[in-house]
Chain A
Amino acid sequence: MELVASSLFDLVSDVIRDTKGIGGWLSIAPDSSVGLFIPEILLCGTILAMLVLRLFRLGEKLDMFYVALIGVGAALLVLSPWRLSENAELFARRELFTGLLVYDGFSVFIRGLLLGFGVLFLVFAKISGIPSRYDSADIYTLVLGATLGLCIMSAANHLLVVFMGVEMASVPSYALAGMQKRDRKASEAALKFAVYGAGAAGIMLYGISLLAGLFHTVHLPTLAAQISTMLPQMETPELMVAALAGLMIMAGLAYKLSAFPFHYWIPDVFEGAPAEVGAFLSIASKAAALALLVRVVVGMGTLPDSSETAARDSVVARARQDNPATPADLLAQAPPAQSTMYVRHDEEHAAAETEDHPREDHATPGESDSATSATTDGLETARTFMAKLIALIAIVTCTFGNLAAYGQKNIKRMLAYSTIAHAGFMMMAVPALLAVADSHPQVAASAVSGIAIYLVIYLFMNLGAFAIVAFLRNEMGSEQIDDYAGLLKCCPGITLCFVVILFSLIGLPPLAGFIAKFAVLASVADAFRLSGHPYLMGVLVVGVLNTAISLIYYLRVARVMTMLPEPESRVPISLPLFSVAGWYVLAMTIPVAFLIVNWGSLHRTATAAVAHLLGS
């Protein structure tokens, strides 16, 4: 790639050409990066508009909600992710701004999800009335700013942009967590959040700088190419540094994902911050963090540009010969080459995927030795180890989240652990993706589409749950599970919606949560069959058993609401289904309840979104 730009002038002219395209100065050329970056620019414009409008007297009277809504809605319209299923070719992979960002179906899907969530979130905040009239501009600015960062995270193609996106998303989140002024718990949560976040970001930045020093680049595709050529020649100390760098970056990602050893901030923040912020952090933040994990794994693990591999064809050929046959597994009948399904992959692509690189960043010293001696085979071992590491994190995160949720008395704290568990469940698709990324890219892509489907369904489930928690808080001033006793009597509609959402969070058919889990588990099962790695079976079994484990704490809430008698001391609650809040809850519940009738289009859209992710 343009690794060694000859002079600063070339670099600048590259940036200009790339940014504005070949057309004139004033028009936005179709091949310019700006044209594909308009949604983010609109978000920036909205933020500015909200800040500036307050300076004027007329603007002071204006409810900033409408400004924010129009801005996010316009961004969503420009992005138009619904075109994904119509023509996937429109969303072929393109690098923006000389490779800092990437535009492809997956980024459109995730950004569409984030902006769609933005619209729903604004409406939710408006209904629940948590930002008062005077600080609404602040809150919406922070939300939009964080959304902007999340959008950049999901499209990152460069580790510096990864860092920038994470920070852009995190800093407004810290402020959001503490948005209830004079609330000690909220302030404590915000402080914890900021301190943990700053620590994680620092570690991640250090990891990035180590990688940059070792491989002279942090542009992900170039980095993958550099790793593939430089890693075999590396000495043990250098490998140690590379492994350390990878672990540090992983720590930063795990923090955003709230994966197991880095999850401590989530329960405190969720409990301290208002439910609205919890909804934002648990949905938007998770979606972008997962997208980022996929980006980093795919970006550093595969070579999207086929021209780069041409020089190494001989190596590839040798590696292919050496490549042992699919290990005999339980399923023991990997059909030969899946010929019909993957005919579209020409030899070049197959080569690109076979010449595959582990994210050596997680190679341990022990593995590094083998990597030094062997070429692709050694890397394949390291890569399997990588998948195993993420599989382990996913398993532990999911199980831990579900077990820790048992004892919670506060509904938001319980939902926090539920968020951890769901993040772990979604991460289970990543080892499946890694295990077959080289041999069966279509299956690997289906693992990502499983994550995408999960995220969409998760959005409705969690937004519905947090909305109900927020509306109930407004009515009864409590977020303790025990205080929900007998809610069926006083507001049956909302209670039924909550029960549906809770059962969907468990993953029981016919509710949408089952589809989400099914999509992820199916990709794991397929990857297991094709690769024969026993740890994938472990992931599968732990995944389904976690469904049974999670039953108890979700069911406890349902039980308290429907089976326990109403406490006599409670003030009368009125939260009818036929009110604005009720309609909102209903709007979240209906997709959860009836998606099973036809989720084919969601599956098709998600499949189209990931079609170009793995270099096809």
Chain B
Amino acid sequence: MSNLLGSDLNHVYACWLSLLVFLPVLGTLILLVIPSRAVDAIRYVTFAVTAVVFLLTLLAFFSSGSALSFAYEGEAARYMQAAFHIPWIPSFDIYYAMGVDGISLPLVVLTGLVSLLAMGASWSITKHVKGYCILFLLLETGMLGVFLALDFFLFYVFWEVMLLPMYFLIGVWGGPRREYAAIKFFIYTLVGSVLMLVAILMLYFASDLTKLTPEQLARAHVLDTVTGEDGRPVLDGPWRVPQGEAAAAALQKQVESATAALMSQIEAGERSRHTFSLLALAELGQHTDAFSPSLQWWAFLLLFIGFAIKVPSVPVHTWLPDAHVEAPTPISMILAGVLLKMGGYGILRICYPICPHGGFDLAWFICLIGVVSMIYGAYAALAQKDFKRLVAYSSVSHMGYVVLGLGVWSATAGTFYNADYWNMGVKGAMFQMIAHGISSAGMFFMVGVVYDRVHHRNLSEFGGLFGKMPVYTALAIGIFFAGLGLPGLCGFIGEVLVVLSVWNYSQVLAILSAAVVILTAGYILWTLQRVYLGTEYRGPHEEALVPINPREFTIAATLFVLAIALGVFPYQTVLKYMDPTIDRQTQSLADWTQRVKESAKLDESDGGKQAETKEIKVVGTPDHAGRESAEPTSAAAVTTKRNWPSEELSTAGRYGAPASGGG
């Protein structure tokens, strides 16, 4: 490993992340040579591949000090790590670019974990095992790729790659109405993603790398690798922050020369000024006028529709209950545990950083969508008679928290551009995604366990399972409580963070979203009562209700333990890793609000209220300014003046400050 490190980190990262993403594909090659009859061999190989992928996702935690270690504190943790970019289709500015940061890492680990557990749950699949396992592994590649891609084109490719396996996994191995459910899933997602394609093209052709400063280009990992004195690329990974003044100056020089090289390439026509880089697009969206407000508005809306279908939010959620009900248990686990998170991830990674204008203008709309999803999903869950459909609607409700938390753009004039509450909301949303990945995968697995035995999911025909399957029932109750959001379990943290953050934004929405917990408690407790409690089992196949086997126990217990661990140690398990990145992103967007939105407002009001503004400027201190009319504007004027160079300062600070992270 040390040899590799010396050579070129760009390639080390490329190898590592590519291996992570494409290992499942390599696994399918092994599967292809195993004869179809060797069912167990196929299962074990697939299981082994998912296990290795999971271990690879964890490598970041256990390889401290090496190039692959993930910095979770200090400057390095705030930015993209292990990022690399390799020209893929140079004539179209498409790069093979991936990277990991605090937002993607937890989701990547979650993907590895849920895939592993879902594969463990796949022993119940007996039809066409070989085809199933191949599609399963392809699906895993698509999911990992989505979370790691830093190039919009690459992102889109991965986003669509997982559609095909998913279609067949539901359509071939699903329940009685599987074909309808599969095609519904396919069409919904495809409509969303082609709208996304329009937004991608609009943003691509509007992008202009020449508008970025050297620091922004370096941050966006667009520059060709800038190497330090020791031959390591200084901008990547834990070495991004040089030690001492001299090194910072040297780095500055290098960044500038690399920028000059890029600009001369653009001048010479060897490279176009457009870019697909997600990070560069984000810099362009926040720091330049490359994307006009109306473009951002439309692009945000198109992208958001695409992601909201995946989340799914009301009113585009209707594919989810069908897909869940018809999908086999492991695929339901993947669907709820990972696929839905792609929507939230896309909103967080793409919508907000690239199109802040749209996010700011549509904040109320987004929050409303979130709250409506929560309430509608909860009420719909209350009405369900099918166990799995109930869990599916609970997913709609729970993912509403994610949308709400991401959308709470509370950093406005009213709060003096304080990003704290929004920050809390985003963290809550991220935590909710991880927690829901665990609790919903667990709930679907629990439904699957009992379905495998009695082959029905009719809620009114259960009862008394506690007596027949005590261990299973205990674990199930624990996992359902995690979904309910009981304090001490994982569901609680995300919900409480989101609801608290919303209070600051809109008290009505906060009250509504807090009230949803009552509905959630209603349907979950009622379900527990109908299924597990009571004295007798009222449905068919009573004789089949045997205690769970060790394989099932292992999967359920893992999820249960994780639900407790995340609930008791939310910071140590999840938040620690994502905090710096989310802090930076929300702070950057809050600064943007102050800089762009309020200065624009000021320009408008400047005309008639010149004298008045001047006067208020004198008296307008933060103490006076509440949420009332003109004062925030004036405060904006003052703070704008003061904070204008904050971005530059922080950039400069990055080079000057000593690294507390890795290295």
- Return the CB mask of B265-296 against A: 1 if under 8 Å, else 0: 01111001100000000000000011110110
Q: How far is the CA of A599 from the CA of B92 in the complex (A)?
A: 10
CB distance from A521 to the nearest CB of B (A): 6
A503 CB–B CB distance under 8 Å? yes
B298 CB–A CB distance under 8 Å? yes
Given A333-B290, A555-B186, A607-B91: A544 touches B160 (CB 8 Å cut-off): no
Given A341-B269, A341-B272: A330 touches B202 (CB 8 Å cut-off): yes
B208 CB–A CB distance under 8 Å? yes
Interface hits, B441-476 → A, CB 8 Å: none
* List of A residues within 8 angstroms of B171 by Cβ: 559, 562-563
How many chain B residues touch A (Cβ–Cβ < 8 Å)? Answer: 44
**In the complex the two chains form, is A525's CB within 8 Å of B205's CB?**
yes
A52 CB–B CB distance under 8 Å? no
A510 CB–B CB distance under 8 Å? yes
* List of A residues within 8 angstroms of B202 by Cβ: 330-331, 525, 529
Interface hits, B387-428 → A, CB 8 Å: none
Given A332-B294, A525-B201, A600-B90: A508 touches B163 (CB 8 Å cut-off): yes
Q: How far is the CA of A163 from the CA of B423 in the complex (A)?
A: 68
- Return the CB mask of A544-580 against B: 1 if under 8 Å, else 0: 1101100110010001001100000000000000000
Q: How far is the CA of A80 from the CA of B497 in the complex (A)?
A: 66
> A545's contact among B156, B194, B204, B269, by CB below 8 Å, is which?
B194
How many chain A residues touch B (Cβ–Cβ < 8 Å)? Answer: 39
**In the complex the two chains form, is B292's CB within 8 Å of A544's CB?**
no
**In the complex the two chains form, is B89's CB within 8 Å of A331's CB?**
no
**In the complex the two chains form, is B295's CB within 8 Å of A335's CB?**
no
**In the complex the two chains form, is B161's CB within 8 Å of A510's CB?**
yes
* List of B residues within 8 angstroms of A547 by Cβ: 190, 194
CB distance from A376 to the nearest CB of B (A): 27
> A503's contact among B157, B164, B204, B295, by CB below 8 Å, is which?
B164
CB distance from A583 to the nearest CB of B (A): 18
* List of B residues within 8 angstroms of A559 by Cβ: 171, 179, 183
Given A331-B292, A562-B168, A603-B91: A548 touches B190 (CB 8 Å cut-off): yes
Interface hits, B249-273 → A, CB 8 Å: 266-269, 272-273
Q: Which A residue sits closest to B292, measured CB to CB? A: A332
CB distance from A510 to the nearest CB of B (A): 5
B34 CB–A CB distance under 8 Å? no
Q: Which A residue sits closest to B294, measured CB to CB? A: A330
> A548's contact among B157, B194, B289, by CB below 8 Å, is which?
B194
**In the complex the two chains form, is A544's CB within 8 Å of B205's CB?**
no
Given A343-B269, A529-B202: A514 touches B91 (CB 8 Å cut-off): no
Interface hits, B166-212 → A, CB 8 Å: 167-168, 171-172, 179, 183, 186-187, 190-191, 194-195, 197-198, 201-202, 204-206, 208
**In the complex the two chains form, is A551's CB within 8 Å of B294's CB?**
no
CB distance from A556 to the nearest CB of B (A): 9
Interface hits, A583-607 → B, CB 8 Å: 596, 598-600, 603-604, 607
Q: Which B residue sits closest to A335, measured CB to CB? A: B208
* List of A residues within 8 angstroms of B194 by Cβ: 544-545, 547-548
- Return the CB mask of A471-515 against B: 1 if under 8 Å, else 0: 000000000000000000000000000000001000011100010
Q: How far is the CA of A562 from the CA of B168 in the complex (A)?
A: 9
Please indicate which of the listed interface residues B171, B179, B190 has the most CB atoms of chain A within 10 Å of its own CB. Answer: B190
CB distance from B129 to the nearest CB of A (A): 14
**In the complex the two chains form, is B272's CB within 8 Å of A552's CB?**
no
> B186's contact among A343, A551, A562, by CB below 8 Å, is which?
A551
* List of B residues within 8 angstroms of A555 by Cβ: 167, 183, 186
A340 CB–B CB distance under 8 Å? yes
- Return the CB mask of A527-549 against B: 1 if under 8 Å, else 0: 00100000000001100110110
Q: How far is the CA of A330 from the CA of B291 in the complex (A)?
A: 10
* List of A residues within 8 angstroms of B164 by Cβ: 503, 508
Q: Which B residue sits closest to A443, measured CB to CB? A: B205
CB distance from A441 to the nearest CB of B (A): 14
Q: Which A residue sits closest to B36, measured CB to CB? A: A492
**In the complex the two chains form, is B267's CB within 8 Å of A540's CB?**
no
> A333's contact among B163, B267, B289, by CB below 8 Å, is which?
B289
* List of B residues within 8 angstroms of A562 by Cβ: 168, 171-172
* List of A residues within 8 angstroms of B204 by Cβ: 522, 525
**In the complex the two chains form, is B206's CB within 8 Å of A529's CB?**
yes
A348 CB–B CB distance under 8 Å? no
Please indicate which of the listed interface residues A330, A545, A599 has the most CB atoms of chain B within 10 Å of its own CB. Answer: A330
Q: How far is the CA of A510 from the CA of B94 in the complex (A)?
A: 14
> A340's contact among B160, B195, B269, B294, by CB below 8 Å, is which?
B269
**In the complex the two chains form, is B198's CB within 8 Å of A540's CB?**
yes
Please indicate which of the listed interface residues B161, B171, B194 has the most CB atoms of chain A within 10 Å of its own CB. Answer: B194
CB distance from B48 to the nearest CB of A (A): 25
**In the complex the two chains form, is B290's CB within 8 Å of A509's CB?**
no
Q: How far is the CA of A239 from the CA of B520 in the complex (A)?
A: 72
- Return the CB mask of B571-585 against A: 1 if under 8 Å, else 0: 000000000000000
Q: How far is the CA of A559 from the CA of B182 in the complex (A)?
A: 10
Q: How far is the CA of A343 from the CA of B269 in the complex (A)?
A: 9
CB distance from A437 to the nearest CB of B (A): 17
Q: How far is the CA of A563 from the CA of B167 in the complex (A)?
A: 11
Please indicate which of the listed interface residues A522, A544, A604 has the most CB atoms of chain B within 10 Å of its own CB. Answer: A544
* List of A residues within 8 angstroms of B201 by Cβ: 521-522, 525-526, 540
**In the complex the two chains form, is B295's CB within 8 Å of A331's CB?**
yes
Q: How far is the CA of A503 from the CA of B138 in the complex (A)?
A: 16
Ranked 9 nearest A-B pairs via Cβ: A525-B201, A544-B194, A332-B292, A509-B157, A600-B89, A509-B160, A603-B91, A529-B205, A548-B191
Known: A508-B163, A509-B157. 4 other contacts (CB 8 A): A541-B198, A547-B194, A563-B171, A598-B89
User: 15 A-B Cβ contacts within 8 A?
Assistant: A331-B206, A331-B295, A332-B295, A341-B273, A508-B164, A508-B190, A509-B161, A522-B204, A525-B204, A529-B202, A551-B190, A552-B183, A559-B183, A598-B88, A600-B91
Q: Which residues of A contact B (CB under 8 A)?
A: 330-333, 335, 340-341, 343-344, 503, 508-510, 514, 518, 521-522, 525-526, 529, 540-541, 544-545, 547-548, 551-552, 555, 559, 562-563, 596, 598-600, 603-604, 607
